[in-house]
Structure 1
Amino acid sequence: MFNSILYQVDGMVAQIILNKPDRLNALDKQTLLEINDAMNQAESNEDVRVIVISGSGRAFSSGFDLKAQMDARPSGEKIWREILDLDFDSTMRFWNSLKPTIAAVHGACMAGAFEIALACDITVASEDAIFGEPELKFGAGIVTMLLPWVTSPKRAKDIILTGQDRIDATTALNAGIISRVVAKDQHLTVALQIARGIALVDPVVVASTKKALNETYEIQGMQKALKNALDIDHAIESVGSPDKKAFMDIARERGMREAIAWRDARFAKAQV
């Protein structure tokens, strides 16, 4: 049924495993649709009480699939609205689910994948995990502006405006971006242990308590702010910035690795 993810249920815990290791589990349209299908299954299954998401291979995920975007060349307001709405809605499934969600992260966790990890109720990171929001460095916007809601405004602005993509697990923990740091390769083991513990609690109590916790943010207008930020990102992407055009042109001509090297060299020069 699934091609880009694995879905399995063990007792009261459902696992969603991003499963395109050759692409560092990049999040293309098919993967996002499958994530939504898996969430539908987990949420409709009364036996499932907790949902855990992880990645196979060397990383959790490199984020939204720029190569797929490069090949498809999306343009126009309608197309970009469809793309960004799917990105946003898929991320917020983890925040809005009545069932607790846990991200088990190792290796790269970038951009859209970082936002999924932020949307989960608990994030367990291996000590080798690396986080980041590099979008502005190649002329893109932020789809799901969750970062300022989970860390300080100063920290969020520093990360986003400078396009940081080398945030180690300890720094992320100190910033409140993740919940726990564990030994290398123990992220999923610990996440499942946490999930099984939560699953023992009355699910009505858990769902009600999660609702109460989320309501703290709703009172502050989080959902409205996120939708406004999504509209701003739509305005950025549907027009297309010169920086992103240059990045994508290099990626098409010389490959994504060369485009990333060009991007990094450009910013390294400015910091000499």
Structure 2
Amino acid sequence: MAEYQFIQVERDDAVAILTFNRPQVLNAFHNEAMQETLKAVAALNADDAVRVILVRGAGRAFSAGFDLKASAERKMEDVSDWERQMQLQFDFIMQFWHSPKPTIAVVHGFCLAGAFELMLACDVTVAAEGTRFGEPEVRFGTGIVAMLLPWITGPKQAKELLLTGDDKIDAADALRMGIVNHVVPADQALAKGLSIARQMARAAERSVRLTKRAVNASYEAMGFSTAMRTSLDIDVLLNAGTSPEKQEFARLRKEQGLKAAIAWRDARFRD
């Protein structure tokens, strides 16, 4: 099995367990981690011995989302730079939706922004009690890479969450909104995810694969791919442009560090 620097891939019989492994930064996704994941998932998709892919995070979080420190250091000169970057992020998320094999997310701690979207792209989600969910992008002038939430929950709930940038959704509310399938004690989350994965792995492989294809085809009939592509194009323009909030967040991040920038962002939304 291939060796990776920022992820781990293990096997539990026919279940592949992919672990994001940057715990020192809450498993934030930088380009190298995304590229490794794309390579690993492609290999798992091609491996007939793998029936199910389960994804999780090392340490105290599933993931805090895209790595803001890495993005600040990245040289982005024009729209084409943003197109390439956003396409990488989009493909990284959507590989779990498009995988021919069932994908299961087991989340804990933080599951925010790009990680939230990746979790939504998986077929099933098991959440540990205490997990914090949300999409804070509008609070500092950026946007949604993969606009999956309106397809998973209702439009009113999606709009409230996305337009406020709320990133303090708890696991119980995520369950109520249909964002996750199960909420279990933290020490039982992986076991629950593996239990579901093993049931899928024991089912008839061809039936599982074609049934997932059929479910996804129903979304395609409703214009899913067109909507996702349009949303990504809008997000490229949003990120390539600027706003007072985005400028101030970037200034604070550069002069005082990411922690100070996030504190400024959050302080603006306290009642």
Query: Is TM > 0.5 for Structure 1 vs Structure 2?
Result: yes
Counterpart residue identity of residue 202, structure 2: L
Question: Conserved in 2, the CA contact under 8 Å of 1:76 and 1:239?
Answer: no
Q: Cα deviations across residues 7-48 of structure 1 (Å, max 9, x unaligned)?
A: 112210011100000000000000100110110111111000
Instruction: State yes or no: 1:211 paired with 2:227.
Output: no
CA distance in 1, matches of 2:240, 2:106: 33
Correspondence for 2:106:
104
Cα RMSD for the two superposed structures: 0.9
Of 89, 92, 97, 2:91 maps to 89
Please give the alpha-carbon distance, in whole angstroms, between the structure 2 residues aligned to 1:205 and 1:214.
14
Distance of 2:168 and 2:206 partners within structure 1:
39
**SS in structure 2 opposite 1:186?**
helix
Partners of 2:269 and 2:99 in 1: how far apart?
Answer: 39
TM-superposed CA distance for 1:73, in Å, is: 4.0
**Distance in structure 1 (CA, Å) of the matches to 2:28 and 2:125:** 19
Question: TM-score when scaled to structure 1?
Answer: 0.97
Distance 1:22 1:242 in 2: 31
* Correspondences of 1:46-85 after superposition (within 5 Å): 46-85=48-87
Question: Following the alignment from structure 2 to structure 1, what is the Cα–Cα distance between the partners of residues 78 and 190?
Answer: 40
1:124, 1:182 within 8 Å by CA — same for their partners in 2? yes
> For residues 74 and 229 of structure 2, what CA distance do their matches in structure 1 show?
25
Secondary structure, aligned partner of 1:142: coil
Note if contact 1:140-1:241 (Cα within 8 Å) is conserved in structure 2: no
Match of 2:230? 228
In structure 2, runs of 5+ residues without a counterpart are none
Once the two structures are overlaid, the 10-residue window that deviates more, 95-104 or 248-257, is: 248-257
Secondary structure of 1:144's aligned partner: coil
User: Amino acid of the residue matched to residue 189 of structure 1?
Assistant: A
Q: Match of 1:254, as an amino acid?
A: Q
State the partner residue of 1:237: 239
Decide whether the 8 Å contact of 1:145 with 1:226 is kept in 2: yes
- State the 1:267 CA deviation: 2.3
Secondary structure of the corresponding residue to residue 4 of structure 2: coil
1:106–1:185 Cα contact (<8 Å) kept? no
Shift of 1:223: 1.0
- CA distance in 1 between counterparts of 2:21 and 2:110 reads 14
Number of the residue aligned with 1:134: 136
Q: Give 1:249 shift.
A: 1.1
Deviation at 1:189, TM superposition (A): 1.3
The Cα shift of 1:136 comes to 0.4
C-alpha contact 1:151 1:175 (8 A) present in aligned 2: yes
Q: Percent identity?
A: 47
Alpha-carbon shift at residue 179 of structure 1 (Å):
0.7
How many equivalent residue pairs? 269
- Are residue 260 (structure 1) and residue 262 (structure 2) matched? yes
> How far did 1:70 drift?
1.1
Q: 1:33 aligns with which of 7, 32, 35?
A: 35
Structure 1, 110-119 or 64-73: larger mean CA deviation: 64-73
Cα deviation, residue 72, structure 1? 1.8
Deviation at 1:243, TM superposition (A): 1.4
Aligned match for 2:14, one of 7, 12, 15: 12
The one-letter amino acid paired with 2:94 is M
Amino acid of the structure 1 residue aligned with 2:225: Q
Contact kept, 8 Å, 1:118 with 1:146, in 2: the verdict is yes
| 4+ long deviations beyond 2 Å | none
Identify if the C-alpha distance between structure 1 residues 243 and 75 changes in structure 2 by more than 3 Å, giving closer, same or farther.
farther
Amino acid at match of 1:89: D
**CA deviation vs aligned residue, 1:117-166 (integer Å, no higher than 9, x gap):** 00000000001111000000000011000000000000000000000100
Secondary structure, aligned partner of 1:177: coil
Counterpart amino acid of residue 160 in structure 1 = L
Residue 269 of structure 2: SS of its match in structure 1? helix
